[in-house]
Structure 1
Amino acid sequence: MPFVRIDLSKKYPDGFAQQVGDIIYGAMRQHFNVPEDDKFQIITKHDANELVIPKSYLGIEYSEDIIFIQATISEGRSTQMKKSLYQAICDGLVEKLKVRPQDILINLVEVNKENWSFGHGVMHYAPKDQ
């Protein structure tokens, strides 16, 4: 049930952003046990002036090729699962798309399961007793 936002520069070629999305989805399937067909992503390409980043942070130097990945997920995954996910996404983007590892910024937003509705105004993961 992840909901993923991918923000990156317009300078990337057509199809690149979809490949990024596929790599993220594959890593989530493997490391977060995301079910097949549970792929909800919004991909937004930006002009250079719309991606505001520092030259460096925590000793990491960024470039205009930065890719922002934010996934809203249900809470409950361990720290180790999250570390494995971050590494798998990074490895996939570096190996398959030649993205600099410094330019991969990932943020997870955890929510309670009852905060999801996948359509029809239904709380699909409502507690059984309510």
Structure 2
Amino acid sequence: MRGAHDLRYNASYMGVSRSDDVIFIQLTVSNTRSLEQKKELFKRISILLGESPGMRSDDIFVNLVEVAKENWSFGNGLAHYALGDSGR
């Protein structure tokens, strides 16, 4: 099992000054959001985690992995979005 000391990251990548309290958030989402919606999401995550539990915004690293809707299966081996209304 690996510990926190095994995590490697650049403490100043893109001009952001990260501490050892850095967290990494990766969200897998459908590729349906505009650039403005993504910017608002990043800002909101930073605000909320700043309020509670009190994280520094420099220590919040967020990554979106966007996939086409037909690449989702919610169970039973079905590509639910590819089925249209009959998949619900």
Distance of 1:81 and 1:127 partners within structure 2:
27
Gaps of 5+ in 2: none
Instruction: Return the TM-score normalized by structure 1.
Output: 0.60
Q: Which amino acid aligns with 1:109?
A: V
Are 1:54 and 2:10 matched, yes or no? yes
Are 1:71 and 2:27 matched, yes or no? yes
Root mean square deviation of aligned Cα: 1.3
Distance of 1:81 and 1:107 partners within structure 2:
14
The alignment of Structure 1 onto Structure 2 pairs a total of residues equal to: 83
Larger of the two Rg values belongs to structure: 2
Q: Which runs of 4+ in 1 moved over 4 A?
A: none
> Equivalent residue for 2:61?
105
More helix by share: 2
Q: Quick check: 1:55–1:62 contact (8 Å CA) kept in 2? A: yes
> Equivalent residue for 1:118?
74
Distance of 2:22 and 2:7 partners within structure 1:
8
More strand by share: 1
Identity of aligned residues (%): 48
Q: 1:127: Cα distance to partner? A: 5.3
Q: Quick check: 1:48–1:64 contact (8 Å CA) kept in 2? A: no
Q: 1:47: Cα distance to partner? A: 2.0
Distance of 1:127 and 1:112 partners within structure 2:
14
Gaps of 5+ in 1: 1-45
Instruction: Return the TM-score normalized by structure 2.
Output: 0.86
> Equivalent residue for 1:38?
none
> Equivalent residue for 2:42?
86
